[in-house]
Amino acid sequence: MAAATGCGGSTKIAPTPEPQPRRGGTLRTGTTLPLAHGLDPQIETGTGLAIFPRVYGYLLHVDPADDATVYDHAMSVEQPDAQTYIFKLRDGVRFQDVAPVNGRTVTSEDVAASILRYRDNPLVLNKAWHRGILDKVEAVDAATLRVTTSIPYVYSLSELGGLAAGAILPRELTGADLSTSGVGSGPFRIDPASSKDDVRLVRNDGYYNQPLPYLDAMEWLILPSDEMKIAAFKQQRVDAVPNRDRFEAQELAAASPGAEIASEPALAYLSLGLRVDRVPFSDPRVREAIDLALDRDALIRDIAFGDGDVLGPVNPHLAGGFWSLPRDEVVASQRGKTSIDARRADARAMLAEAGAAGARIRLQVAKLPQVLDVAAVVREHLRQVGLEVELETLDQLAWYVNLRRGDFEATLIGQLPYESPDTPVRLYHSRGIDGTGNMFGFSDSRIDALVERSWAEQDRSTRRDTLLEAQRLMIDARPMLQLFTNTAYSTAWSYVRNRRPGVAGSMAQYNYEQWIDREGTVN
């Protein structure tokens, strides 16, 4: 029982002290999201995003909540001018004791080789910085790295510390296939017995930041259905699961005494991309008609179960909405306060004026259950205004390749959880997010100028004003129609300590302090 002390009639209850972390145990996560490309940190977009940050080390991270710098393998960074960054590496950081590196020291040559591998990797989609802004990366000495850019660019540290781009690989492995194996300098190493359906990491006893990690191992069990995921949790074959939605989380917790729900606003979101250089989307009236036909309230009610929200080009969940358009502006652009019947009547008239009444649209969709659910609803919404939609379902990799190439008429995009406003606005830039061209065939010189101006604006408030101006042009042009963003839920048994689910974005993946409270184990 907590102690109570009184003074002058007031009573204070001393807080119950948190238990001290204990070493040992395996944290098992069950999920239905597969590995999209495996464990290669530079190209994975599926459940590996939660796995490889535990294997690899990073120079630093930039917290998306406030742009604060969090150091990892770098102990400092100096910026003698707007285009030069000099990193000093921390002493005593070693790779895992696995061939071919066998526990050797991490050097600046490894960091440089990793950056160049990302730049030259043909499967990397988002490398506009590496291709168009990075000028030179040099290992000055074993502990010093110098990076220079061709122009001042305020997101350079975010790029160098990003979840995928920032992972440090041994230079010996930069030419290797890392889809099923790899060696890093993070707190865990890959168990060779891992498979595509059961990935296991074991503690790296040589990790520089002792006493972390506390866990002996982490496992991800990839299951074929939500029903199997829920059963595995109830049977305690797994300790934690991401939930499909709030109802799944609530039902699971209600049926599992000792389970705890956590939630956080998601940085991921859904968009409908259109090739604006092709008929019928080349006519802005058609794009506006589709925008009006989409009932976001119904999508949020039926797909996100009321936990979603509308959004403009930048997700309002990023940095507490600092970079995003006010919600009222987004709703106004979609005429969200007008009844859906009235909007659809106007949409039918616009399509008729554009000569697109009854047009057939081929919509590409990745074969993922939740994405397919959204696609079915979108198809029905467009049918209400006379458009015929043919769903072209593709394996996730094929869908991704087509997206990158711009090989689609229309496509439903599950956007990644971008951690700066730069990638979302680059989607509207004429050179696109990889610097080779806009995947929607879209170009607007005014938008290009504003996006490029933002790159040199060190003052966050000034940069926000520039990006808000750009976003107003973007929502009017409509090469992409934003559908909704939602809330992410997860459930874990109470004996899983230090989950920290409220940490923003990928910063949660760098939480190496989880531990298993054996005394709190549910029986």
Strand-pair partners of 199? 220
Angle at the Cα of 101 (from 100 to 103), degrees rounded to 5? 135
State how far the Cα of 68 lies from the Cα of 335, in Å rounded to an integer. Answer: 37
Amino acid of residue 423: T
Is the C-alpha dihedral spanning 122, 128, 132, 136 positive or negative?
negative
3-state SS, one letter per residue, for 114-129: HHHHHHHCCCCCCCHH
User: DSSP state, 132?
Assistant: I
- How far is the first Cα of the chain from the last one, in angstroms, to the nearest whole number? 23
- Cross-strand pairs, 227: none
The string of pLDDT tens digits covering residues 345-370 is: 999 999 999 999 999 999 999 998 88
Q: Which of 512, 519, 515 is nearest to 492 (CA)?
A: 515
Tokens 């910063």 identify what position?
A: 507
Distances (CA, A) of 255 to 244, 420, 432: 16, 38, 47
Sheet holding 259-274, edge to edge: 188-190, 198-203, 217-222, 26-31, 240-243, 480-493, 259-274, 410-415, 360-366, 388-394
Helices (H), 303-368: 327-333, 340-353
How far lies 441's CA from each of 278, 299, 339, 427, 438, in Å?
Answer: 8, 27, 32, 11, 5
For the question of whether the overall pTM of this predicted structure is more than 0.75, the answer is: yes
At 136 the three-state DSSP class reads: strand
Evaluate whether 205 touches 103 at the Cβ level (below 8 Å): no
Q: Which residue ranges form the domains of the chain, and what is each CATH number?
A: 26-225+495-520 (3.40.190.10), 266-486 (3.10.105.10)
Whole-angstrom distance, CA of residue 389 vs CA of residue 513: 48
pLDDT the model gives residue 518: 75
How many whole angstroms from its chain centre is CA 338? 33
pLDDT along the chain (523 residues), means of 10: 35 60 96 90 91 97 93 97 97 96 98 97 85 96 98 96 96 94 97 93 97 97 95 96 91 94 91 97 98 96 88 96 97 96 98 97 93 96 98 92 94 92 96 90 98 96 98 98 94 93 80 85 46
Confidence (pLDDT) at 369: 83
Structure tokens at 26: 């395996």
